[in-house]
């Protein structure tokens, strides 16, 4: 399924009816009810060729003779070639990208199709020149940005990382050094510890910065020790974390603070409570340093977070995608211990209309332009330049649609939900109900709030624009910000319409920000893996789950955990965030290259315990045919190999899964080449079904007639998985990490099926 924020589009390559129009009405609790219309046009090959945004900007997509995206252009009063040129090599991997601000990106690959260099030139200078090295199994060993230093006062600099891995390819250590202008420098070290169940047992991270945040040295670090529950069924859930940390301008010794965090989960495995305590200098422990409380719904979606009285609330559509985020603080005044007044602010919000448009308080909105699944440009505007007032557009689900939705009652219900959350958290609610959702106080620019003043200030920033001929109210079109990500999709450099670097971010391996330089009226919240970072909670929102980078763990269980039984359900990117990405919080995908063809049979032994069936063991037979082409050296290869993989599954007496082990034997039947084709297959062929890097043809089924399967399951019996099938893999790009379909907001090869002119009646549930 391709989930597009309230629209379920089933993939059907034979009968494809693309979405052509959506009308979506959303409720911003205590603010307004707004409706947004988006339209798409496709060619005869179901490729997206035109998209009309809710603010009526028209974005067109052009393709080369090979059917690959080549240009992206937008028009609203004026024309913008967001992408003026996309180039590809003979393997159809991206080799060149040029934005309309003059920034150019060059991609270079080694003979095994791994990204060896990623270079970005902007404003006449090199801002990124990443060189990559790998081990024999393609784990990244180092990344070094060797670009020249920028001029004094500008953002950027040289950054290098080195990585080591344990025998299970989990990240073991990492180091990094940064050198910037104006005597800026920084370094970090990271050491990770794991047990044999892939649980993190320790994390030690230490950072040093010189002249980065201020003139002087800053030492920041922590040493985390993890303890897990011993209770049956909860052995992957945190019980406590010992947190020894420091933040000082002096040497770390003697400045350590020892905190303790205790964790509680609900019956579905969602984190619901964290208590933070601190060891005081007099030797006693203060258990009231901090609290975090969390509320989840029946579908394991995070609804609200209370951080010591600061409450954030979240709403989702029917597909589980976040539609609204609100947050605010409560102030109470007491006189002689008696409550005399207070206020609760709920005005701060983010409205996620779609992947393409986000609206905020004060009339601000941000449009996102995509090339495939990659966000390439963010444009910031205000209410005055938006176009049709979204509060005045006919609601989805109106009588003209043959539907009737009572938005007034839904609006009132969501106001009550906020109050209920405050009551649950035992936080006083002193907010004022805004029942005038038609005018939407706080939704427009002139409501007198600080956010409105910031939105108006954005329009005055003209000195950064290349084109000086814009006429008011089109000045906001100057506020265009272009993304220059690393190989994981993380935002590294952001440039403006002049090609100037206005934001520069570097990360430590598990997603925490190491260096951030800002020089703009707008800064992207889409950071590590291009996911949104919620400043209110310090969490990353991935779609299916929320991620805590400091702990390097998810807050909830994996909705697809049955596909990753060999890992913990809270595990992030298989504890290898340099080589794996989590596209949406489900299972991780490894960035690999190559293609293969194989067939095989899978033998299983089934054992019945108490009337249930469980795989007990078996062997998978694979016959692989491979070939390699190295056109640069004019080397070719061909071969055939046979692989036997034996599996042993362990279960307790109640049928509960305990663990799995496997052994693999590979034999080369034929290997004719001048290039090392066999190692190519070992390293780069798609052989793991979790990686989804191939197309699967054929079907396997149990044939009980082969060995007389006992239907009573009273004894151990054997069955054979029989059938015919093969896997065909394609070449993937290291610079453009594999994305789960749930992540793709725009498909340039659209095969989505739904009704035309569909109206969305989602109202945040």
Alpha-carbon torsion 140, 524, 478, 25, what sign? positive
Kindly state whether residue 153 falls inside one of the protein's structural domains: no
Kindly state whether residue 608 falls inside one of the protein's structural domains: yes
The DSSP result for 128-139, as a single string, is EEEEEEE-TT--
Both tokens of 508, joined, read: 């430590």
pLDDT for res 385: 79
What is the Cβ-side half-sphere exposure of residue 150, based on CA atoms within 13 angstroms? 23
pLDDT for res 635: 45
Contact yes or no for 58/369 (Cβ under 8 A): no
User: Can you list the pairs that 394-400 forms with residues at least 24 positions away whose Cβ atoms lie under 8 Å?
Assistant: 394/23, 394/35, 395/25, 395/33, 395/35, 396/23, 396/24, 396/25, 396/35, 396/759, 396/760, 396/761, 396/762, 397/25, 397/759, 397/761
282 contacts: CB under 8 Å, gap ≥ 6: none
Kindly state whether residue 615 falls inside one of the protein's structural domains: yes
Count of domains for the chain? 1
Kindly state whether residue 443 falls inside one of the protein's structural domains: no
pLDDT for res 714: 30
Low-confidence ranges of the chain (pLDDT < 70): 1-17, 329-343, 399-402, 441, 445-476, 562-566, 585-765
pLDDT for res 562: 67
Q: What is the pLDDT of residues 169-217, one digit of tens each?
A: 999 999 999 999 999 999 999 999 999 999 999 999 999 999 998 889 9
**Given the DSSP bridges, would you call strands 758-760 and 21-28 parallel, antiparallel or unpaired?**
parallel
Q: Quote the distance between the C-alpha of residue 161 and its chain's center.
A: 22
Q: 453: buried, middle or exposed (CB in 10 Å: 19+, 13-18, 0-12)?
A: exposed
Nearest CA among 630, 619, 626 for reference residue 669: 626
Q: What is the pLDDT of residues 575-626, one digit of tens each?
A: 999 998 887 766 554 433 323 333 333 333 333 332 223 333 445 555 555 5
Kindly state whether residue 621 falls inside one of the protein's structural domains: yes
Kindly state whether residue 648 falls inside one of the protein's structural domains: yes
Cα Rg, the chain, nearest whole Å: 28
| pTM over 0.85, yes/no | no
From residue 384, give the alpha-carbon distance in Å to each of 9, 361, 443. 34, 13, 12
Kindly state whether residue 168 falls inside one of the protein's structural domains: no
Kindly state whether residue 698 falls inside one of the protein's structural domains: yes
Distance between CA atoms of 94 and 83, rounded to whole angstroms? 13
What is the Cβ-side half-sphere exposure of residue 554, based on CA atoms within 13 angstroms? 32
Point out which residues pair with 304 in neighbouring strands.
295, 313
Range of the domain at 686: 594-730
3-class SS letters over 475-491: HHHHCEEEEEECCCCCE
φ/ψ region of 442 (left if φ > 0, alpha if ψ in -120 to 50, else beta) reads left
Distance between CA atoms of 474 and 110, rounded to whole angstroms? 45
Q: Give the H or E element holding residue 31.
A: none
């Amino acid at each position: 399924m391709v989930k597009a924020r309230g629209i379920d589009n089933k993939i059907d390559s034979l009968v494809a009816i693309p979405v052509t129009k959506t009308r979506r009405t959303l409720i911003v609790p205590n603010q307004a009810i707004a409706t947004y219309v988006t339209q798409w046009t496709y060619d005869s090959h179901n490729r997206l060729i035109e998209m009309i945004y809710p603010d009526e900007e028209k974005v067109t997509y052009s393709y080369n003779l090979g059917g690959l995206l080549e240009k992206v252009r937008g028009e609203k009063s004026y024309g913008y070639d967001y992408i003026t040129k996309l180039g590809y090599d003979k393997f159809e991997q991206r080799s060149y990208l040029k934005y309309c601000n003059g920034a150019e990106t060059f991609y270079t690959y080694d003979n095994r199709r791994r990204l060896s260099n990623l270079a970005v030139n902007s404003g006449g200078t090199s801002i990124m020149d990443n060189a990559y090295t790998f081990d024999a199994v393609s784990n990244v060993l180092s990344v070094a940005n060797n670009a020249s230093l920028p001029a004094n006062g500008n953002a950027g600099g040289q950054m290098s990382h080195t990585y080591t891995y344990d025998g299970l390819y989990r990240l073991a250590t990492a180091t990094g050094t940064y050198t910037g202008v104006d005597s800026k420098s920084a370094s970090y070290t990271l050491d990770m510890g794991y047990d044999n169940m892939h649980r993190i047992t320790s994390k030690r991270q230490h950072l040093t910065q010189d002249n980065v945040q201020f003139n002087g040295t800053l030492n920041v670090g922590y040493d985390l020790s993890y303890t897990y529950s011993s209770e049956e069924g909860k052995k992957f859930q945190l019980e406590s974390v010992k947190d020894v940390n420091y933040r000082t301008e002096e040497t770390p010794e003697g400045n350590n603070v020892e905190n303790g965090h205790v964790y509680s989960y609900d019956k579905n495995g969602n984190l619901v409570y964290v208590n933070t305590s601190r060891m005081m200098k007099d030797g006693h422990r203060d258990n009231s340093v901090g609290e975090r409380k969390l509320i989840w719904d029946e579908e394991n979606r995070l609804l609200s977070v209370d951080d010591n009285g600061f409450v954030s609330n979240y709403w989702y559509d029917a597909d589980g995608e976040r539609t609204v985020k609100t947050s605010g603080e409560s102030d109470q005044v007491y006189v002689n211990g008696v409550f005399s007044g207070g206020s609760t602010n709920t005005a701060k919000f983010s409205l996620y209309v779609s992947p393409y448009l986000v609206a905020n308080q004060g009339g601000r909105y941000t449009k996102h332009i995509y090339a495939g699944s990659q966000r390439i440009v963010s444009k910031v505007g205000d209410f005055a330049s938006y176009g049709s007032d979204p509060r005045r557009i006919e609601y989805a689900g109106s009588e003209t649609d043959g539907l009737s939705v009572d938005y007034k009652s839904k609006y009132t219900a969501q106001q009550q939900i906020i109050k209920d959350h405050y009551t649950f958290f035992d936080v006083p609610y002193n907010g004022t109900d805004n029942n005038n959702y038609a005018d939407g106080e706080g939704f427009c620019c002139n409501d007198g709030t600080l956010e409105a003043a910031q939105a108006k200030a954005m329009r005055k920033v003209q000195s950064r624009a290349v084109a000086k001929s814009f006429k008011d109210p089109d000045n906001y079109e100057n506020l265009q910000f272009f993304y220059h990500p690393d190989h994981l999709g993380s935002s590294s450099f952001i440039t403006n319409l002049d090609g100037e670097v206005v934001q520069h971010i570097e990360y430590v391996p598990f997603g925490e920000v190491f260096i951030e330089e800002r020089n703009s009226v707008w800064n992207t919240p889409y950071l590590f893996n291009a996911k949104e970072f919620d400043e209110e909670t310090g969490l990353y929102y991935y779609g299916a789950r929320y991620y805590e980078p400091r702990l390097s763990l998810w807050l909830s269980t994996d909705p697809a955990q049955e596909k990753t039984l060999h890992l913990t359900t809270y595990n992030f990117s298989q504890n290898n965030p340099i080589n794996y990405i989590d596209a949406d919080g489900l299972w991780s995908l490894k960035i690999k290259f190559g293609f293969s063809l194989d067939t095989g049979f899978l033998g299983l032994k089934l054992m019945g315990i108490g009337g249930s069936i469980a795989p007990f063991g078996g062997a998978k037979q694979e016959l692989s045919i491979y070939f390699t082409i190295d056109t640069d050296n004019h080397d070719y290869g061909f071969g055939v190999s046979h692989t036997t993989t034996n599996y042993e599954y362990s279960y307790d007496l109640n049928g509960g899964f305990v663990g799995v082990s496997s052994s693999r034997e590979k034999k080369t039947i034929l290997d004719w080449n001048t290039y090392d084709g066999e190692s190519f297959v070992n390293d780069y062929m798609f052989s793991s079904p979790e990686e989804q890097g191939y197309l699967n043809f054929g079907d396997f089924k149990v044939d009980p007639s082969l060995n007389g399967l006992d239907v009573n399951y009273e004894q151990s019996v054997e069955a054979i998985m029989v059938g015919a099938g093969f896997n065909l893999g394609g070449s993937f790009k290291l610079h453009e990490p594999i994305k789960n379909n749930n992540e793709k907001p725009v498909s340039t090869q659209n095969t989505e099926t739904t009704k035309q002119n569909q109206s969305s009646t989602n109202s945040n549930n």
